[in-house]
Amino acid sequence: MFTGLIKGVGTIHLHREGVLVEPPTSFFPLTLGESISVDGVCLTVSAIRKNAFLADISEETLRRTSLGEKAYEKRFVNLEPALRLCDRLGGHLVSGHVDGLGKIHSIESLNKSWNIKICWEDIAFAKYTCEKASIALNGISLTVSESTQDGDTFSIAVVPHTWSNTALRYLKIGERINLEADLMAKYAENLLRKMANESKKEKSTDLSLAWLANNGFS
């Protein structure tokens, strides 16, 4: 589990054993098996090298995220170690399980911030996007500042500190990014769906005189 508050920017490279990530020196010492968010994707440290660590990467991760593309191009990535129970939750709960990809539609530099407009590639997740909702963009906890009615296109406001201390400043128009919708919204939807299904089942098996008559018992 993560908070979406980035602790450093590193680079990612393709490797015969997966991907090789070079984090800032502040990330060391590392422990085998620990989880690190790499551009919003929860990866496990499988081996430790000098000034770097190796992580396995599955076909599912390559299909649903931009890590493969970034590793091929040796790009910058946002990094965050796993949340400790004693840490403050300054962002929002981020699982590191990317829902889908988005595409940068525009980047506008304003007087005191940057406005980035994003489009979901898979509109099935757009329903979780609404104004003032939390969303993780390449692992960064951000707030939706504006959204279309169906949520497939939305904007975020980026303050100077976030711009300077993450890899957002390297984004380009048309670039694909990793998006994770608010975890709590997905849990709430799943719970409500189950409750609705249970309610339908209870109504369909409700024992009454009408039910007995309709089923030939009276």
Q: What is the mean pLDDT of each run of 10 residues along the chain (218 residues)?
A: 96 95 96 97 96 94 93 97 90 93 97 96 90 95 93 95 97 97 85 78 64 68
Of the residues 28, 52, 81, which one is the last residue of a structural domain?
81
Residue 210 lies in a domain: no
Residue 205 lies in a domain: no
Question: In whole angstroms, what is the distance from residue 124 CA to residue 69 CA?
Answer: 23
Which residue stretches of 14-173 are H helix? 59-64, 67-73, 160-165
Domain count, the chain: 2
Burial zone of 129 (CB within 10 Å; 0-12 exposed, 13-18 middle, 19+ buried): buried
Residue 172 lies in a domain: yes
Residue 109 lies in a domain: yes
Note whether 104 and 177 are same-domain residues: yes
Contacts of 12 (CB under 8 A, 6+ apart): 19, 20, 21, 22, 38, 39, 67, 70, 71, 74, 75, 77
Kindly report, residue by residue over 145-192, the tens digit of the pLDDT: 999 988 899 999 999 999 999 999 999 999 999 999 988 888 888 888
C-beta separation of 155 from 145 below 8 A: yes
Among 18, 57, 45, 24, smallest CA distance to 167 is for 24
Residue 93 lies in a domain: no
Say if pTM beats, i.e. exceeds, 0.95. Answer: no
Residue 87 lies in a domain: no
Residue 133 lies in a domain: yes
Residue 204 lies in a domain: no
Torsion of CA 112, 117, 120, 126, to 10 degrees: 70
Among 28, 27, 24, 23, smallest CA distance to 12 is for 23
Which range of residues forms the domain containing residue 135? 100-186
